[in-house]
Amino acid sequence: MKKLIALFFVLLLSFYSCKKEQKVEKTNDETTLEIAPVSPDMMENAVIYEANIRQYSPEGTFNAFAKDISVLKELGVKIIWVMPINPISEIKRKATDGSFTSDIDDEEERAKYLGSYYSVSDYKAINPEFGTLEDFKNLVATAHKNGIYVIVDWVPNHTGWDHPWITEHPEWYTQNDKGEIIDPINPDTGKSWGWTDVADLNYDKEDMRNEMISDLKYWLNVANIDGYRMDVAHKVPVDFFEKVTEELEKIKPVFMLAEAEQPDLLVKAFDMHYAWEAHHIFNDIAKGEKSVKDFDKYMVKIDSTLQDDDINMNFVTNHDENSWSGTLKERMPNNKEIFTALTYAMPGMPLIYNGQEYDMDYRLKFFEKDSIPKTRGEYFEVLKKLGELKNSNSALNGGKKAAAYKRLNSEENILMFERTKGDQTIFFIGNFSNELDKISPPKGKFLDYMTNTPIELKGDTLELNPWDYKILIR
């Protein structure tokens, strides 16, 4: 009998040790599954997904988005970045043509303009357009149950014109010589950026900084989110963000993304920033205005400017690019797949913007209601396959202990590099031109990953069609 009891406890202990990355808690008589804390290991093989709640579904709600979170898991997504969840200011709310909605006489016409997500009227409230606080908490819990972390888009540089601080603490805002609160100014020109629907915050005010940090803590405590994406991070003092991360980490480990390409932000404040320069190089190569040589120069540059534990967010589109610069069909009409594959194969973390997985070929409206398509096509399967490889093969690790990157040739239009980590090796070979081209690939037996075909290369030249690529696993 004692042996049976001992065996029972051994089995029980084994069961719980296997569950070490998840814990079960009882809350209000309901069982919820908690995700493991944010860690560097999670960042190594993650895919990040940008969710524009307003435009993700016809309903434009948290609940409608939450229903599809299991689909994102299919794509290898490990982090969801939710665009701003806060209420949007009505004072100086903008219409699509840049005018203020208050200048529109027709009530029906005025009502269709919902304003910019980045004109926040209350940092501690939920935009009722999207649902309730409970709906948002359900979204976070659903993501966690699927092994996905949630970060929230935060707007620290400015607020909307009907934020309570405008009247309660006007001294917390930048003011002109007349003592009037102003919108953000371009320091290079001394003139307005044109963001007239927002008021610029003054980071010389310590009380404002403290209140902002308090509001940031609120969402970790109330909704159990896992970090933030900071809007226009390059316009806010670095020391503020360092304090933010220090304070948030006292609550729980967090993942922090900077909308900037500024290495000093990555020293203490952020885990990842935008690879804007790479993105613009992609666009220029796609148009024939730059070549692989320019990408090589970029890779050499970041090798010297970034530290080993700095993470780049690689992307072919996002909400700004889609709405203002053009769709993938406009910017990369015949070659979006090769650039997408490159964002997964190069060091860093790849981004998917909602709708990208469904071959969205139109610009989402920014100030009005819109909706993404939901029909799966070839591109969905491409992203799914790339996500599976990113998640599972350490040779594509792109986090704080990224796999090694080694350039293997110096052709004008052919990019070939090797990624290695431990005993895992992957080769990326791509023809970034409109012409048929040849390359001498490495010798050996490989799996052509995208076609799932075993191949043996014996030193002969490999022919690549225009904008064709291969991911070879040794």
**Model confidence pLDDT, tens digit, residues 288-324:** 999 999 999 999 999 999 999 999 999 999 999 999 9
259 touches 232 (CB < 8 A)? yes
- Contacting residues for 279 by C-beta, under 8 A, at least 6 apart: 314, 315, 316, 321
Summarize the confidence of residues 332-340 as an average pLDDT.
97
> By the 8 A CB rule, do 155 and 83 touch?
no
pLDDT at 25: 38
Question: Which pLDDT band holds residue 34 (cuts at 50, 70, 90)?
Answer: confident
Instruction: Name residue 49's beta-bridge partners.
Output: 80, 352
Tell me what the mean pLDDT of segment 127-144 comes to: 99
Q: Mean pLDDT for the chain? A: 94
What pLDDT, in 10s, does the model give residues 156-187? 999 999 999 999 999 999 999 999 999 999 98
**Cα distance between residue 181 and residue 199, in whole Å:** 7
What pTM does this model have?
0.93
Is 50 exceeded by the pLDDT of residue 32?
no
Long-range CB pairs of 295-299, under 8 A, 24+ apart, other chains included: 295/415, 296/407, 296/410, 299/346, 299/405, 299/407
- Domains, the chain: 29-403 (3.20.20.80)
Neighbours of 91 (CB within 10 A): 16
Taking the CA atoms of 38, 40, 43 and 45 in sequence, report the sign of the dihedral they define.
negative
Helix (H) or strand (E) holding 437: strand 437-439
pLDDT greater than 60 at residue 27 = no
Question: In angstroms, what is the C-alpha Rg of the chain?
Answer: 24
pLDDT one-digit tens code per residue, 82-92 = 999 999 999 99
pLDDT at 14 exceeding the cut of 50: no
